[in-house]
């Protein structure tokens, strides 16, 4: 494995063996955002790169910092998540007062992330749909979980119960670590290479299974053929020990106080160490992309030779 903290000096995008991490000097959540060229950040993201804002720290209130210092006892869940649409906090075993602090923090992060992307990615204006906000207070290294849930293995994101129907999954992360510790990720090969490696061994969906999964309540909406293949890619990558060990990859340290943005349905990633991160999920219809042909949906459709979602 190659240790490399020298990303960002050459953001070539498509020639990269592992994703480029492209830095932008942004210090305010509401801008200003000087970019080397119009839609620079959009292009980096759509080409499978990571946009790193090393100086964009998410400001915490004293009560929030105190909650982190107090520590979060290792519970059964890995995240505390907040659903902005429903106003629900899920996964926390904290008392009512602490839950109120967590809810306020995640709500503020959701608003800050939305403002950030609204200004940084103007091409997507009005098209990004906010999903869950999550707070990840536990140390990633050394946590045990089943291979399918083990996010220390390289994978692309796909949600078993929440099919996207082809919509993109973009996530904003902020490393809040109070001791100044980095969030350590592995970054893997481009999506085209992942598809070339695994798609040939994945069977298509069984006829009627999407309807059955929906009726049984396994999925919140109908699982498209696209979602079937994405879930199979996620599982195939995580289950393949040789792939995990020998495929092209790199290690990157996201410093404390930094924020970064990535299409996690496209970029092969694994969180291998770090503690205290906030994350906001967004969904984007593929039609809103600058370069639709780069979407996982189109890459898979080209390889499989048929339409995989009705978009
Ligand atoms: Fe992930």
CB 154 within 8 A of CB 244: yes
Extract the tokens encoding 114.
Answer: 């939305």
What mean pLDDT is predicted for residues 233-249?
96
The pLDDT of residue 243 is above 90: yes
Tokens of 36: 């080397």
CA of 155 to the centre of ligand 1 (A): 6
Taking residue 8's Cβ as centre, other Cβ atoms within 10 Å add up to: 16
Q: What is the pTM of this model?
A: 0.91
CATH 3.90.1420 fits 14-304, yes or no: no
Neighbours of ion ligand 1 (CB under 5 A): 157
Confidence band for 3, pLDDT divided at 50, 70 and 90:
very low
What is the rounded CA–CA span in Å between residue 14 and residue 25?
Answer: 22
Tens-digit pLDDT profile for residues 190-202: 999 999 999 999 9
d(CA 145, CA 198): 23
- Output the CA–CA distances (angstroms, integers) from residue 22 to 45, 77, 262, in the order listed: 9, 32, 11
How far away, in angstroms, is 157 Cα from ligand 1 center?
Answer: 5
Q: What percent of the chain has pLDDT above 70?
A: 92
pLDDT confidence of residue 7: 45
Cα–Cα distance measured from residue 65 to residue 83, given in angstroms and rounded to the nearest whole number:
22
Is residue 13 within 8 A of residue 25, CB to CB? The reply is no
Minimal CA–CA distance to 3: which of 266, 182, 145? 182
Ligand 1 centroid to 97 CA: how many Å? 30
**pLDDT at residue 93 greater than cutoff 80:** no
- At 138-196, the pLDDT tens digits run 888 877 778 888 999 999 999 988 899 999 999 999 999 999 999 999 999 999 999 99
**Interval 105-137: pLDDT, tens:** 999 999 999 999 999 999 999 999 999 999 998
């Amino acid at each position: 494995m190659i240790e490399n903290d020298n990303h960002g000096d050459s953001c070539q995008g498509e020639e990269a063996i592992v994703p480029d991490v492209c830095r932008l000097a942004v210090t305010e959540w509401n801008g200003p955002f000087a970019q080397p060229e119009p839609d620079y950040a959009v292009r980096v993201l759509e080409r499978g790169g990571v946009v790193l804002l090393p100086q964009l720290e998410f400001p915490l209130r004293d009560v929030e910092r105190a909650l982190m210092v107090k520590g979060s006892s290792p519970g059964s869940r890995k995240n505390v998540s907040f659903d902005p649409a429903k106003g629900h906090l899920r996964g926390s075993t904290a008392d009512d007062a602490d839950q109120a602090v967590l809810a306020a923090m995640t709500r503020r992060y959701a608003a800050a992330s939305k403002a950030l992307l609204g200004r940084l990615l103007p091409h997507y204006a009005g098209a990004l749909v906010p999903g869950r906000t999550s707070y990840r207070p536990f140390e990633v290294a050394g946590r045990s979980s089943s291979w399918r849930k083990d996010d220390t293995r390289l994978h692309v994101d796909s949600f078993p119960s929440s099919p996207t129907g082809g919509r993109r999954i973009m996530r904003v992360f902020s490393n809040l670590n109070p001791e100044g510790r980095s969030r350590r990720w592995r970054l893997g090969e481009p999506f085209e290479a992942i598809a070339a490696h695994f798609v040939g061994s994945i069977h298509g969906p069984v006829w009627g299974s999407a309807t059955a999964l929906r009726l049984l309540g396994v999925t919140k909406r109908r699982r498209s053929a696209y979602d079937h293949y994405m879930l199979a890619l996620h599982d195939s990558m995580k289950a393949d020990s040789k792939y995990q060990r020998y495929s092209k990859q790199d290690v990157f340290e996201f410093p404390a106080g930094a924020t970064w943005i990535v299409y996690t349905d496209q970029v092969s990633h694994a969180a291998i160490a770090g503690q205290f991160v906030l994350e906001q999920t967004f969904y984007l219809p593929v039609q809103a992309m600058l370069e639709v042909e780069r979407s996982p949906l189109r890459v898979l459709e080209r390889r499989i030779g048929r339409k995989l979602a009705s978009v």
